[in-house]
Amino acid sequence: MRRLIFFGMLLAGVLSFGISEAVQTKLVIRAKSKDAKFVGSKMGGALVIIKDSETGKVLAEGLTAGGTGDTEIIMNQPKTRFGEISADAAKFETSLDISEPRLITIDVSAPYSDKTNMIMSSTQMWLIPGRDIVGEGVIIEVPGFSVDAKSLETVKLSDGRAVIPVSAQIVMI
């Protein structure tokens, strides 16, 4: 009887050797305007889509939320290799159930509130089960400007020329 129990346990162990449990793995994504601050809630945030690179399946998606970060730290202080610059800046947080290393693609589109100026940036990385990427997280730079052009007055004709007064608000994404 003992031998039967021993072989049963041994067989169960061998059969379950290849089976691995899914592990919750935390991931923080931040969108930062190139040479500027983080894309926060005032700009409508940044749309983050995390996909399995092999299958294209969407694993998580959402908007970054929060502030634009500390101007002094981001713009004026020298950067160091492990120095933090996010200081409570906008982020998207998620937790993925993965059982093996997975190559993921992260797409960030910003500013989300202004579709006419939205730019997409992406990166790929390996996500390892149980190896959380939190704190600064993954910072993806989004280049470009958000331009809000306005015509203040109607067209005026002067000496056969059209005068079109235009104003614009231009900010880095």
pLDDT digits (tens, 9 = 90+) for 90-105: 999 999 999 999 999 9
Residue 147 CA to residue 12 CA, distance in Å, equals 63
Question: What is the per-residue pLDDT for 79?
Answer: 84
Q: What percent of the chain is predicted at pLDDT more than 70?
A: 80
Q: Would you say residue 52 lies in a domain? A: yes
The DSSP code for 163 is: E
Q: Would you say residue 2 lies in a domain? A: no
Q: Residue 114: which pLDDT band, with cuts at 50, 70 and 90?
A: confident
Residue 39 CA to residue 90 CA, distance in Å, equals 7
pTM of the model: 0.75
Question: What is the per-residue pLDDT for 25?
Answer: 96
65 against 82, higher pLDDT: 65
Its domain, for residue 89, covers: 21-141
Q: Would you say residue 135 lies in a domain? A: yes
Q: Would you say residue 161 lies in a domain? A: no
Q: Residue 109: which pLDDT band, with cuts at 50, 70 and 90?
A: very high
Q: Would you say residue 173 lies in a domain? A: no
Q: Would you say residue 96 lies in a domain? A: yes
Contacts 24+ apart (CB under 8 A), 161-166: none
Our count of domains for the chain comes to: 1
We report the CATH number of the domain holding residue 107 as: 2.60.40
Q: Would you say residue 153 lies in a domain? A: no
Residue 123 has pLDDT above 80, yes or no: yes
Q: Would you say residue 6 lies in a domain? A: no
